[in-house]
Amino acid sequence: MYKLDNKTSQDVTSIEVLVKAFMPYAQKKMGFNRPPTIQLQSDPENAQNPLGKTGHYDPSNMTIAIYIDKRHPKDVLRSLSHELVHHTQNCRGEFDGASGMGEQGYAQKDSHLREMEREAYELGNMCFRDWEDGYKQSNYSVDVDIDISLQEWRNNELNSLLMERFIKGVKK
């Protein structure tokens, strides 16, 4: 069984409920054979960066870190699913001998790491999407307390898109 650590001062009950429902599905779909440790982390400075980190995986201790500040719970789970693919890859021994992970441009410089990222994006997103569709059909309840309002989430998304366009405009 996985371990979930809340390393923040935030109430993450809604995320915990969804992670608990998602993990058995993800393990069956992805096939990892060892439980990861999942850490929900807060980094306010990172949250202000429109291109900040959303999560990362540490293969040496099988730990997934997910940043949750100013993020919709669904987006948090999508990041978790991506990182679970990396955990699966580690369980298969695909991190053996890999170097430079996490460095800027690592997935562009190393074809093996690029393929691992491609798999994480594809399998992670599809696994989450398939689980979400099934979850909504079977037992989704609007009573799940979502920490962030839809309006606040939309405002954050709009702000991120505007910042991306602003940054692109400044670089020209």
Quote the pLDDT of residue 142.
45
pTM comes to: 0.77
Quote the pLDDT of residue 133.
93
Quote the pLDDT of residue 102.
60
CA 49 to chain centre: 17
Count of the separate structural domains present in the chain: 1
Quote the pLDDT of residue 21.
95
Quote the pLDDT of residue 64.
98
Whole domain around residue 105: which residue ranges? 3-171
Q: What is the CATH number of the domain that holds 120?
A: 3.40.390
Quote the pLDDT of residue 40.
98
3-class secondary-structure state, position 6: strand
Q: Diameter of the chain by CA atoms?
A: 50
Give the residue ranges of DSSP H helices in 44-172: 44-48, 73-91, 106-109, 111-138, 150-171
Q: Per-10-residue mean pLDDT for the chain, 172 residues long? A: 95 95 97 97 95 94 97 97 97 78 61 90 97 85 49 65 70 63
- Distance between CA atoms of 1 and 109, rounded to whole angstroms? 35
Contacts 24+ apart (CB under 8 A), 1-7: 1/35, 2/35, 2/36, 2/37, 2/38, 3/35, 3/36, 3/37, 3/38, 4/38, 4/40, 5/37, 5/38, 5/39, 5/40, 6/40, 7/39, 7/40, 7/41, 7/42
Quote the pLDDT of residue 104.
57
Quote the pLDDT of residue 54.
95
